[in-house]
């Protein structure tokens, strides 16, 4: 890897300038440590099977940032900078929070919890939280706000443990561990229950289209709570998901976990001076490469968030998003990769000559933000393939793509260009040649939602 021209004491603006631009700053950095959870607890295939056949427990305690906002103007902050409606919110409600820049381009998302009357918490990637924290500190709001970094990067323990159970037997396990009958929570509602004398916050949620709960409490109680669940789940063959299998349901659920945040736009210069590079740095990889950072941007609508965008109020980016509403240039899809073409990537390892870029199953990833080119039958770029995984339950390799709307019809065939440019400088990527892989467009989410 080439010598770095910037330092972690720089602002994002300073680091971008020293690197020759934001793409030069982020291209080929590799990936940071995702979590403290091992890649496999038992075996990633059996772990994937558990969310479909029995019950899976996922440890989410280490890889997300938390944003705490409290005060009389807290809700006004969200109304000003999130695309969501907050008209009917009350303590006990949750939603997927999405924020955009003034031009309607996607910055980030998180899961948002209404805790008390003027007290809120959101949990997710850093991009949305950094933007909201900046607005909280520089705007005219009567509130207090704080971002807790990803615990995997911290020397001290996180504030909370955060777990999730999902799968057809998730409710049975929850019933067994709870000290009283489970409340009849609707989807994306949360409350507090008692589990063997411990107060535990639970959110009605799920992943991979299967029913489930997310739950959290004081970190020092986490190991005991985990053991309670693992013991209760033994009769259902519960599996603790490792870091690799945990990340793979995204391909089924249709959620693209991370893309380049649209923060290098005109009018955001002061934000880039405020933002520490270490708090906002991501890496870019894949077969697509451009010197223009805006080529990596999406809108919330293109990422599938059109159903939560609500124009009952003015918010940052609302004018641009309202103009796009109902007629986006691109749409989110699932791309089902051709079996034989995927097999040929592995077969190249047993032939003389150049090999194809290795696919490390089940979740091949060498950069945080992955952009592989999607081509039409004439070889023209018509979109991008992003997060991808092999899913044992489907016996298929899937990726989430954003493609031109005229090619988003299920059954359409496209080509994914798999590999990295020849001048790639990512130490996690070996020398290889590009591979063209046929893929078939399918809906996103890919499977029926049973949550």
Domains of the chain: 12-30+263-296+329-442 (2.40.30.110), 44-63+157-253 (3.30.1360.120), 65-149 (3.30.70.1400)
Residue 386 has a pLDDT of 98
Q: What is the mean pLDDT of residues 430-443?
A: 97
- The DSSP bridge partners found for residue 331 are 403
Residue 208 has a pLDDT of 53
End-to-end CA distance of the chain: 44
pTM of the model: 0.95
Residue 28 has a pLDDT of 87
The answer to whether 161 touches 61, Cβ cutoff 8 Å, is yes
Residues 222 and 181: their CA atoms lie apart, in Å, by 22
Confidence of residue 73 (pLDDT cuts 50, 70, 90): very high
Residue 232 has a pLDDT of 98
136-151 per-position pLDDT tens digit: 999 999 999 999 999 9
Residues 32 and 37: their CA atoms lie apart, in Å, by 14
Residues 357 and 420: their CA atoms lie apart, in Å, by 8
Residue 4 has a pLDDT of 79
User: What are the helix (H) ranges across 169-212?
Assistant: 170-177
Q: Where are the beta strands (DSSP E) in 140-222?
A: 144-148, 160-166, 190-195, 198-205, 212-218
Residue 425 has a pLDDT of 87
Query: Is residue 445 predicted with pLDDT exceeding 70?
Result: yes
* Phi, then psi, of 312 in degrees rounded to 5: -80, 0
Average predicted confidence (pLDDT) for the chain: 95
Residue 392 has a pLDDT of 98
Q: What is the mean pLDDT of residues 363-390?
A: 97
22-40 per-position pLDDT tens digit: 999 999 888 889 999 999 9
Query: Is residue 209 predicted with pLDDT exceeding 80?
Result: no
242-281 per-position pLDDT tens digit: 999 999 999 999 999 999 999 999 999 999 999 999 999 9
The proportion of the chain whose per-residue pLDDT surpasses 90, expressed as a percent, equals 92
* Per-residue tokens: 8: 């972690």
> Cα dist. 35→26, 61, 92, 100, 387 in Å?
21, 8, 28, 27, 18
């Amino acid at each position: 890897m080439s010598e770095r021209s910037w330092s972690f004491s720089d602002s994002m603006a300073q680091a971008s300038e020293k690197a020759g631009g934001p793409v030069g700053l982020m291209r080929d950095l590799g990936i940071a440590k995702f979590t403290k959870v091992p890649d496999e607890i038992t075996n990633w295939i059996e772990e994937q099977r558990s969310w479909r056949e029995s019950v899976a427990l996922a440890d989410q305690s280490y890889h997300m940032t938390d944003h705490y906002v409290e005060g009389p103007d807290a809700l006004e902050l969200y109304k000003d900078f999130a695309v969501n409606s907050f008209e009917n919110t009350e303590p006990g409600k949750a939603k997927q929070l999405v924020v955009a820049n003034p031009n309607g381009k996607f910055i980030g998302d998180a899961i948002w919890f209404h805790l008390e009357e003027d007290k809120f918490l959101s949990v997710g990637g850093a991009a949305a939280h950094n933007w909201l924290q900046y607005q909280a500190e520089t705007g005219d709001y009567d509130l207090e706000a704080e971002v807790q970094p990803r615990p995997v990067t911290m020397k001290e323990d996180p504030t909370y443990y955060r777990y999730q159970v999902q799968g057809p037997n998730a409710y049975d396990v929850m019933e067994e561990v709870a000290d009283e009958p489970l409340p009849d929570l609707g989807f994306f509602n949360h409350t507090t229950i008692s589990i063997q004398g411990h107060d535990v916050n639970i959110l009605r949620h799920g992943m991979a289209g299967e029913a489930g709960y997310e739950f959290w409490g004081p970190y020092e109680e986490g190991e005991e709570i985990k053991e309670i669940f693992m013991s209760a789940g033994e009769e259902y063959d519960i599996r603790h998901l490792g870091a690799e299998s945990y990340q793979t349901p995204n391909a089924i659920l249709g959620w693209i976990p991370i893309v380049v945040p649209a923060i290098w736009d005109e009018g955001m210069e002061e934000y880039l001076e405020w933002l520490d590079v270490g708090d906002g740095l991501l890496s870019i990889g894949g077969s697509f490469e451009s010197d223009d950072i805006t080529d990596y941007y999406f809108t919330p609508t293109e990422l599938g968030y059109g159903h939560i965008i609500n124009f009952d109020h003015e918010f940052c980016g609302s004018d641009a998003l309202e103009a796009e509403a109902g007629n986006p240039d691109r749409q989110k899809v699932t791309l089902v990769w051709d079996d034989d073409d995927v097999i040929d990537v592995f077969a190249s390892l047993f032939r003389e000559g150049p090999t194809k870029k290795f696919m490390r199953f089940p979740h091949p990833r060498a950069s945080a933000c992955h952009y592989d080119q999607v081509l039409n039958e004439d070889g023209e770029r018509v979109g991008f393939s992003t997060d991808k995984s092999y899913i044992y339950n489907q016996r298929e390799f899937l990726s989430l793509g954003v493609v031109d709307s005229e090619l988003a019809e299920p059954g359409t065939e496209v080509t994914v260009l798999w590999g990295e440019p020849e001048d790639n400088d990512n130490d996690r990527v070996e020398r290889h040649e590009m591979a063209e892989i046929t893929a078939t467009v399918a809906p996103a989410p890919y499977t029926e939602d049973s949550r």
